[in-house]
Copies of this chain bind each other. A is one copy, B any other.
Amino acid sequence: MRPEDLAEVRSLPLFRNMRAANFQSLMQGAYAQRFPSRLELIRQGQRADFLHVIVEGSVELYSEWKGASTTMAVVGPVSTFILAACIRDLPYLMSARTLEPARLLLVPASDLRAAFREDPEFAVSIVSELAGAYRSMARHAKNLKLRNSRERIACYLLKQSELAGGADRFVLQVEKRLVASYLGMTPENFSRAVRGLEADGVRMAGQTVTITDREALVRACPPDVLIDGPDLESMSDGVSLPGPGMPEDRPARRAASGPRRGRETVA
């Protein structure tokens, strides 16, 4: 594990405020590891052994039932996932797999729980993180229950634009099939709905999205802070997808190998 990576981990909201000694001992017990693309890191139902921190690459969290599968989140560097299962020492509710070659830091769940009791500041960070993750998941559920797929896409794109600094043109960092699954629809439906949104001020060519008429788009699908955020709570273990890149950033699919893609605090 390189020192600069460690520094990035240290700068995460989760670890930022803990005492140096505790951070050090937590890292001492952790494993840095590389994984190839498309590797299953976690199988839902397994016991939670390690908190996972993504240092490089990206990971999809997904769930399966009766043969069907749905994307619950895509997380990129530097962020953590499956905190809740680790804290409760319970089976994972989601599976995880790398979308590209990735480097992860695995922190033993038992060490984590010990550190929680040792370090009050760390306890505060953990509880903040979890509360944020809860709210993120609540938003996800509201989005699914209150909006149709057209509206979910429109608001997703508006949110991406916001994450891109309000730019009218940006590049999706995640495959469309994953966005579709995250938003709770089939790729076909996603494709058609995007096409349908052209009438409301969106154009999409490949991974590049252009908002041609923001007002029309907002009129068609008013975003809501209580669903789309932001919440200033941007923490890990949340439920979302990485932020967009700028048009010059391409090739998009490997953006993670660059300095860092999107908001590292989104997921």
Q: Which residues of A are at the interface with B, using a C-beta cutoff of 8 A? A: 44-45, 63-66, 68, 70, 72, 83-85, 87-88, 90-91, 93-94, 116-117, 120, 123-124, 126-128, 130-135, 137-142, 144-147, 184, 222, 224-227, 231-233, 237, 239
Can you list 28 pairs linking A and B with CB atoms under 8 Å apart?
A: A45-B225, A45-B226, A63-B145, A64-B146, A65-B227, A68-B146, A70-B142, A72-B141, A72-B142, A84-B130, A88-B131, A88-B135, A88-B231, A90-B231, A91-B225, A93-B139, A93-B142, A94-B138, A117-B120, A120-B120, A120-B123, A123-B123, A126-B127, A127-B130, A130-B131, A134-B137, A141-B239, A145-B184
A63 and B65 CA atoms in complex are apart in Å by 27
Q: Give the CA-CA distance A74 to B48 in the complex, in Å.
A: 29
| Bound Cα distance from A91 to B232, whole angstroms | 11
- Which residue of chain B lies nearest to A70 when distances are taken between CB atoms in the complex? B145
Residues of B within 8 Å of A63, CB to CB, are 142, 145-146, 226
Please name the residue on chain B nearest to A68 by beta carbon.
B146
Contact (Cβ within 8 A) A135 B84 = yes
Copies in the assembly, this chain = 2
- In angstroms, how far is the closest chain B Cβ from the Cβ of A80? 13
The distance in angstroms between the C-alpha atoms of A128 and B130, with both chains bound, is 10
| Residues in B whose Cβ lies below 8 Å from that of A126 | 127
Top 10 closest A-B pairs, CB basis?
A: A137-B137, A84-B131, A65-B146, A70-B145, A130-B130, A134-B134, A84-B134, A87-B131, A88-B131, A123-B123
